[in-house]
């Protein structure tokens, strides 16, 4: 009744069902362990709650629809988004308490724990943007399964105080921890997950698929201030929000300018992606700079991102052989590192700041190569970019 390929898909689906049940069961005792010992005051939790919902918009509607730009791959893009979010949120919440953190942060009765999990999911969504369209749904889930603990370890390196001294690494909204890590993880994966044929196959888009991508982009733009302000003290939220918005204004304007200057026409994919570069780059120092500087950082970030899409990406692809479907290296990689390096000028110990950036990039690339290799063992799609592979598609 089912083909061999379908049987394989079903076997993997059953495996992931067992994993999901195991996560649920393993979580049962967790409330007692990390429960009500220290609960944040209601208002604090409530303010973070709003941010947590806003970040959910970024995850499912933002990243999800931004990846719908691949014409014949919309169903898979959005389904993969749903699946990796649904896997990584509980997985992170299960493992994080065993790694580090005070119960004031990671108790399941505080929204902060949810926010940490959402950051992990965001970084994962960035990571799958690299090999997007060239793996199947089981492989997205496998990547999610392997990425999440690795991400948690990198977070532990940067912020637990066990490796880098506590407070020495400045990365308020995750330029490095979330964006650069996800992008360089993708960088590693695609080296292992690109076939020769794919290097010559360009991504097909359509008017409607690009408009959905712009919708995803708008969702990310709009709720980015909540991403940056999620974990800052309440009295810093206004400055952080305004800095974030001005950085995004800056990158939006310079994206347009450099798209026009370099290409002679506007590329809608530049607008959808590079407009957000200001949000990525401002992440590390968003609570430490003033609005004017935020706008200038955004202007630079947008420029770098467009230069990435137009000039750097083709060369990098030739050099490494890896095809970066969404260009996550342009949007999250270089600008994330930029954000981390801007902080070098603002921290007490510039060397630790540099070290944090370098460790993250290397760790991400190495782990990405490893995970990419493991993932490639599950087989490769024959035809890239087509929903027909795994979905019931009528036409």
- Residues between 114 and 153 that touch a second copy (CB under 8 A): 114, 137
Show the tokens assigned to 251. Answer: 């990158």
Beta carbon of residue 230, minimum distance to a second copy (angstroms, whole number): 12
Size of the residue set binding a second copy (CB under 8 A)? 115
Residue 144 Cβ vs a second copy, minimum distance, rounded to whole Å = 10
Please identify, among the stretches 168-176, 180-188, 221-229, 374-382, the one whose residues bind a second copy according to the rule CB under 8 A: 221-229
- In angstroms, the CA 59 to CA 54 distance is 9
Token readout for 332 is 């999250």
CB of 268 to a second copy, least distance (A): 5
User: How many Cα atoms sit within 13 Å of 267 on the Cβ side?
Assistant: 18
93 binds a second copy (CB under 8 A): yes
In the range 174-213, which residues lie near a second copy by CB under 8 A?
205-208, 210-212
Determine how many CB atoms are found less than 10 A away from the CB of residue 348.
10
Provide the minimum distance between the beta carbon of 11 and a second copy in the complex, in angstroms, as a whole number. Answer: 10
Residue in 177, 239, 277, 365 binding a second copy, rule: CB under 8 A: 239
Min dist CB 312 to a second copy, Å, is 18
Told to check if 4 binds a second copy by CB under 8 A, we report: no
Phi-psi region of 264 (alpha: psi -120 to 50; beta: other; left: phi over 0): left
Shorter beta-carbon distance to a second copy: residue 138 or 360: 138
Angle between helices 137-159 and 111-128 (to 10 degrees): 120
Which listed range, 78-86, 160-168, 184-192, 311-319, lies at the site for a second copy (CB under 8 A)? 78-86
From the list 148-156, 191-199, 229-237, 319-327, the region that binds a second copy by CB under 8 A is 229-237
The answer to whether 127 and 368 have CB atoms below 8 angstroms apart is: yes
Window contacting a second copy (CB under 8 A); options: 149-157, 223-231, 316-324, 359-367: 223-231
**Binding to a second copy, residues 336-355 (CB under 8 A):** none
Tell the smallest beta-carbon distance from residue 19 to a second copy (Å): 9
Q: 316 — phi, psi (to 5°)? A: -60, -40
Interface characters, 25-54, with a second copy (x: CB under 8 A)? xxxxxxx-------x--xx-xxx-xx-xxx
* Residue placing its CB nearer to a second copy in the complex, 56 or 355: 56
By CB under 8 A, tell whether 82 contacts a second copy: yes
Site for a second copy in 309-338 (CB under 8 A): none
Exactly one of 196, 200, 315, 395 binds a second copy (CB under 8 A); that residue is 395
Q: Is 265 helix (H, G, I), strand (E, B) or coil?
A: coil
DSSP 8-state assignment for residue 288: T
Q: Which residue has the tokens 């505080």?
A: 110
CB of 100 to a second copy, least distance (A): 20
In angstroms, give the least distance from the CB of 319 to a second copy: 25
CA distances (Å), origin 200, targets 152, 190, 194, 376: 35, 15, 11, 19
Cα–Cα dist 94/22, whole Å: 11
Min separation Cβ 224 and a second copy, Å: 9
Q: How many residues does the chain have?
A: 395
Q: Compute the chain's Rg from CA coordinates.
A: 20
> Interacting stretch for a second copy, rule CB under 8 A, among 15-23, 164-172, 310-318, 329-337?
15-23
278-307 binders of a second copy (CB under 8 A): 290-293, 295-296, 299
Distance CA 348, CA 170 (A): 10
Task: Name which of 361 and 389 has its Cβ closer to a second copy.
Answer: 389
242-271 residues in contact with a second copy (CB under 8 A) are 242, 245-246, 248-250, 252-254, 256-257, 260-261, 263-268, 271
Nearest of 365, 178, 169, 363 to residue 283 by alpha carbon:
178
CA distance 81 to 124: 10
Instruction: Give the residue from 190, 254, 210 showing the smallest Cα distance to 66.
Output: 210
- Nearest residue to 335 via CA among 59, 126, 168: 126
CA distance 352 to 360: 12
* Cβ 382 to a second copy shortest distance, Å: 16
The secondary structure of residue 243, as a DSSP letter, is H
């Amino acid at each position: 009744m089912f083909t061999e390929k379908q049987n394989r898909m079903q076997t993997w689906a059953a495996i992931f069902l067992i994993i999901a049940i195991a996560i649920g069961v393993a979580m049962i005792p967790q409330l007692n362990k990390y429960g009500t010992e220290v609960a944040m005051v209601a208002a604090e939790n409530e303010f973070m709650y709003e941010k947590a919902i806003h970040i959910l918009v970024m995850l499912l509607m933002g990243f999800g629809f931004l990846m719908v730009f691949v014409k014949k791959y919309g169903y898979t893009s959005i389904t993969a988004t749903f699946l990796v979010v649904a896997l990584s949120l509980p997985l992170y919440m299960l493992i994080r308490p065993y790694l580090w953190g005070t119960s004031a942060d990671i108790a399941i009765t505080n929204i902060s724990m949810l926010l940490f999990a959402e950051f992990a999911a965001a970084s994962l969504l960035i990571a799958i943007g690299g090999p997007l369209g060239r793996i199947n749904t089981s492989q997205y889930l496998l990547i999610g399964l392997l990425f999440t603990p690795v991400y948690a370890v990198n977070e532990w390196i940067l912020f637990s105080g066990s490796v880098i001294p506590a407070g020495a690494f400045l990365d308020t909204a995750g330029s490095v921890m979330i964006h650069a890590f996800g992008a360089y993880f993708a960088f590693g994966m695609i080296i292992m997950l690109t076939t020769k044929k794919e290097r010559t196959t360009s991504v097909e888009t359509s008017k409607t698929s690009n408009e959905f991508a712009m919708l995803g982009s708008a969702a990310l733009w709009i709720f980015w201030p909540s991403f940056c302000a999620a974990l800052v003290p309440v009295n810093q939220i206004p400055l952080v929000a305004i800095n974030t918005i001005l950085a995004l204004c800056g990158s939006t304007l310079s994206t347009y300018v450099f798209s026009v200057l370099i290409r002679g026409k506007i590329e809608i994919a530049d607008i959808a992606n590079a407009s957000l570069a200001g949000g990525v780059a401002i992440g590390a120092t968003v609570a430490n700079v003033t609005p004017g500087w935020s706008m200038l950082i955004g202007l630079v970030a947008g420029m770098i991102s467009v230069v990435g899409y137009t000039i750097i990406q083709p060369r990098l692809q030739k050099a490494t052989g890896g095809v970066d479907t969404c260009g996550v290296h342009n949007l999250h990689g270089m600008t994330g590192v930029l954000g981390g390096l801007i902080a070098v000028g603002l921290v007490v110990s510039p060397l630790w700041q540099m070290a944090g950036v370098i460790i993250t990039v290397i760790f991400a690339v190495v782990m990405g190569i490893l995970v990419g290799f493991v993932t490639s063992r599950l087989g490769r799609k024959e035809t890239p970019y087509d929903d027909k592979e795994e979905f019931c598609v009528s036409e």
